Amino acid sequence: MLNALHAQPQDKILQLIQLYKDDPRETKIDLGVGVYKDATGLTPVMRAVKAAEKQLWEVETTKTYTNLAGDPAYAEAMQALLLDGAVPADRLSAAATPGGTGAIRQALGLVQLANPEATIWLSNPTWPNHPSIIKYLGMKMADYRYFDADSRGVDFDGMLADLAQAKAGDVVLLHACCHNPTGANLTLPQWAAVADLLAKTGAIPFVDIAYQGFGDGLAEDAAGLRLLAGRLPELLIAASCSKNFGIYRERTGIVIAVSPKPEMRAVVQDNLAFLNRQTYSFPPDHGARLVTMILNDPALRADWQAELEDIRKNMLTLREALAAELRRLSGSDRFGFLAQHRGMFSRLGATPEQVETLRREHGIYMVGDSRMNIAGLNARTVPILAKAIIDTGI
């Protein structure tokens, strides 16, 4: 049987990681991997996480299972963080998942159970795992225009024109903030226009929020999500705690479904528990418990928010520094979009050949579509990258 299997296409980011590891140059720069790094190149454990782990070690008395959908206290804490009362609690169903990817997988499973013929609409471009999972599940998908290659901003007119073709019962996947891979985000008035369009077409928003707190702030980064939740009858949310809590390896995520009526909540909750049972039974709890402790303890929460704000400001400082250095070297403001984008990523606008030149001649590693992780930079490497970009003719 097993000899009938074929090798799967290699993940380009994982290939990039290996190429970077094999590169002997001391001046090499890794802008490919999607994790936050501090100025020393380390992805640190946040202070509040360490403090919560110490508390948990002292008081935890069992490692038995929680519930199929995870600890209800985790769901309540995350619902408050994400939605801040935008939707009554009696319309919310939720299930803990292994990371944001698990949340996306379970949300799509819920769509399959409810409407197997639904088309999933994806921004062009989007995170590569979105179409990969949808294709694996055998679901229908379509693209909507999102990124304007000339301005490096959002092609909002094109986005609305494409989404106007979505049918009732289709699902529109939206990035809440810090769009991956482009860094270009919707404004709040644009979110309102999207809500109006979805209300008209009957398509259902599915919001992927993996970087809350990395863009403009915790509340600001969830503003579009909350607007949709307050205006539309149905909504799906996939959230990750990997980035804003720095607990990547703990695989901590959640899927949340907003039902049109309170009486539907129990059925939706039952289906989410069913999907967890079929996929991995009980979800992991360690990371979820740490998040719950931090969000519910005023002192831990205050320290977490302070450190998260430092991380956000560091990325913004790096963006502004890179844009300024490129302005100095190029004599133009054609890279000004880097300071306007938010989150870890920006799409530089380089060709695959130019990206290869950056790797080969300058030891600078980024994804082939020129997505680069701003958090991979520091004060020393910003000028090196800027000079390499100009020398490559980008």
Residue 106 CA, distance from chain mean position:
16
Residue 374's Cβ-count burial label (10 Å; 0-12, 13-18, 19+) is buried
CB of 366 within 8 A of CB of 344?
no
**Cis, bond preceding 260 (omega within 30 deg of 0):** no
Measure the CA–CA gap between 71 and 171, rounded to whole angstroms.
Answer: 28
Using the structure block, give the residue that is written with the tokens 């302070």. 306
Q: Any catalytic annotation for residue 210?
A: yes
| Alpha-carbon torsion (356, 359, 361, 362), positive or negative | positive
Residue 29: in which H helix or E strand, if any? strand 29-30
Rounded Cα gap, residues 120 and 142, in angstroms: 6
Residue where the block lists tokens 């000079």: 387
Q: In terms of Cα–Cα distance, which of 171, 154, 176, 189 is closest to 116?
A: 171
Residue among 48, 69, 210, 239 flagged as catalytic: 210
Say which of 208, 221, 285, 369 is annotated catalytic. 208
Out of 51, 243, 304, 323, the active site residue is 243
145 within 8 A of 126, measured Cβ to Cβ: no
Q: Confirm whether 208 is a catalytic residue.
A: yes
Active site residues: 127, 208, 210, 243
